[in-house]
A and B are shown apart, each in its own frame.
Chain A
Amino acid sequence: MTFRRAPGYVWRWCGGTHVLLIGPDGSPRRLLGAAAVVWSLLDQDRTWDSMVEALGAWTEPDLARRADPVARAALALLVTDELVLADGTS
């Protein structure tokens, strides 16, 4: 399965692990920590493995150590919020 950002969201990195985004409804929201990292990694369709690998290379030591579970939690959060689309292909 691959993952990508939901369309219609404009976003910016705001330092550290902080992403600001505005969706189609026009209201701004913040992503912090691993959720922000996962979001910023989705610049192309990502498989789960490639995302974990990329997240593992993240320079923030704490995140890197906990890459897999943190990414899992972050992705779950993003999917729950319908910010990330999974296209269902494997």
Chain B
Amino acid sequence: MAARVVTDPRLPSLRMVELARYGLPRTEAIAWSLDAPEATDLVTDAEVNHLLGPLLLAVEREQVVMPDGVERVLRDRHEAAMGWCLRIERRLLEVRDLFERAGGVEHLVVKGPAIAHLDEGDPSLRSFADLDLLVRATDLDRAVAALEADGATRPWEERRPGFDHRFAKSVTLAGTDGIEIDLHRSLCDGAHGFRIPIDELFDRRVSFSLAGEEVATLAPIHRCLHGAYHAVLGSPTPKLMSLRDLAGYFTRDDLPVEEVTAEAQRWRGDAVLAAAVRVTLETLDVDAPSWARWLAQMRVADREQVIVERQRAEGSTPGRGKLDGLAELSFRDKAAYLLALTVPSRQHLRSRALTLGAIYRRRYWTGRDSG
């Protein structure tokens, strides 16, 4: 594997890169002996990048040696991170009961807990901050109502009546315990969010065991694609933890490139997948030759590239990338979607301390200011 020299301060440090791929198949061992200041910086960086688990594992294997005092700090911080993850998993079990009492809300756990339990060597290697559940559009309003009846609140009102279950990527609610729950109608915003065949995700679900219960989640191929969508479309710069998830999928023997790319084509998301493969291989430099070959021959249409780039630049902020979704909707839905994007309800604006004038002064429809 070629050595990489990181000189751009915006790029992650070489040690964080090595930590992000630590323990994945076909990656080299590390051997760091650190003095106290170096170790302190490393622990802080690892915490910021949600990589305390891989760092602790490297310490346990004596591939990273640090002064006892700093090692104790690492262990304390890792335990605190795991404590938060466990609280989220306990909350997940409570939400399942809540949904059951509300007449049954079919749901799939996506991201954090599912990745920790199914895709990492040990769940303690993957931390997460909130709980993400995918529900069917027809169940979304009922799921929101069940959580609100339990005391959860949403930070802002629905964009316009009916927007959530027709067009939203997700609805975020915060429980009285401070845990944030994202109820997803789809896996991403914009055009790609409307292209994903959500019912098929439910049809092909798998499960993992949590506290003696079987909890449903996405099939491996869909977890891989969701990881790609999240890394590429969620923000301009993917988190190292998200790239570690992807590197894990791209180095697995039981996820053939042909099957994943065929599914991405069915979702008309191969431009997203290509961007995800590129950023993962370039950043983490993992050994995934079949994915590198696929990427080398992959040709992305200009129009699709633009859609990806717009969405990537915006994240969840309203803008031109969201308007790209119009092409995926029926005539009737186009009108409702456009109205909701351009003229949110008064209640929605008030809850976000915004006015229509303020929105248009930010000019996010022109792409000149993402606000």
Interface residues of A (CB under 8 A from B): 5, 7-16, 18, 20-22, 26, 28
Nearest Cβ on chain A to B363's Cβ, whole angstroms: 46
**Contact call A14/B79, Cβ cutoff below 8 A:** yes
**Contact call B78/A15, Cβ cutoff below 8 A:** yes
Bound form: Cα–Cα A13–B56 in Å: 11
18 A–B contacts from the bound complex (CB under 8 Å): A7-B212, A7-B213, A8-B212, A10-B86, A10-B89, A10-B90, A12-B86, A12-B124, A13-B122, A13-B123, A14-B79, A14-B82, A14-B124, A15-B59, A18-B75, A18-B79, A22-B90, A26-B90
Bound form: Cα–Cα A21–B212 in Å: 14
Task: Describe A's contact surface by its main secondary structure.
Answer: strand
**B residues 327-344 touching A (CB-CB < 8 Å):** none
Nearest Cβ on chain B to A87's Cβ, whole angstroms: 13
Q: Would you list the 8 A-B pairs with minimal beta carbon distance, nearest first?
A: A7-B212, A12-B82, A10-B89, A22-B86, A13-B124, A12-B124, A14-B79, A10-B86
**Contact call A21/B122, Cβ cutoff below 8 A:** no
Which residues of chain A come closer than 8 Å to B350, judged between CB atoms?
none
**Contact call B75/A22, Cβ cutoff below 8 A:** no
Bound form: Cα–Cα A21–B75 in Å: 16
Assuming the A-B contacts A12-B123, A15-B60, are A20 and B82 also in contact, with contact meaning beta carbons closer than 8 angstroms in the complex? yes
**B residues 95-126 touching A (CB-CB < 8 Å):** 122-124
**Contact call A10/B124, Cβ cutoff below 8 A:** no
Q: Among B79, B87, B93, B122, which residue has the most Cβ atoms of chain A within 10 A?
A: B79
Q: A15-B60, A18-B79 are in contact. List 20 more A-B contacts (CB 8 A).
A: A8-B211, A8-B212, A9-B211, A10-B89, A10-B210, A11-B86, A12-B85, A12-B123, A12-B124, A13-B124, A14-B56, A14-B78, A14-B79, A14-B82, A15-B75, A18-B75, A20-B79, A22-B87, A28-B83, A28-B86
A20 contacts which of B83, B90, B213 (Cβ < 8 Å)? B83
Which residues of chain A come closer than 8 Å to B56, judged between CB atoms?
14-15
Bound form: Cα–Cα A7–B209 in Å: 11
**Contact call B122/A7, Cβ cutoff below 8 A:** no
Bound form: Cα–Cα A7–B213 in Å: 8
Bound form: Cα–Cα A3–B86 in Å: 23
Which residues of chain A come closer than 8 Å to B124, judged between CB atoms?
12-14
A5 contacts which of B59, B60, B83, B212 (Cβ < 8 Å)? B212
**B residues 15-69 touching A (CB-CB < 8 Å):** 56, 59-60
**Contact call B122/A14, Cβ cutoff below 8 A:** no
Nearest Cβ on chain B to A3's Cβ, whole angstroms: 14
Which residues of chain B come closer than 8 Å to A26, judged between CB atoms?
90
Nearest Cβ on chain A to B83's Cβ, whole angstroms: 6
Which residues of chain B come closer than 8 Å to A15, judged between CB atoms?
56, 59-60, 75, 78
Bound form: Cα–Cα A64–B223 in Å: 38
Bound form: Cα–Cα A11–B82 in Å: 8
Bound form: Cα–Cα A13–B123 in Å: 8
Nearest Cβ on chain B to A25's Cβ, whole angstroms: 10
Bound form: Cα–Cα A72–B216 in Å: 36
**Contact call B78/A21, Cβ cutoff below 8 A:** no
Which residues of chain A come closer than 8 Å to B78, judged between CB atoms?
14-15
Bound form: Cα–Cα A45–B83 in Å: 26
- For B288-305 the 0/1 string (1 means CB < 8 A from A) is 000000000000000000
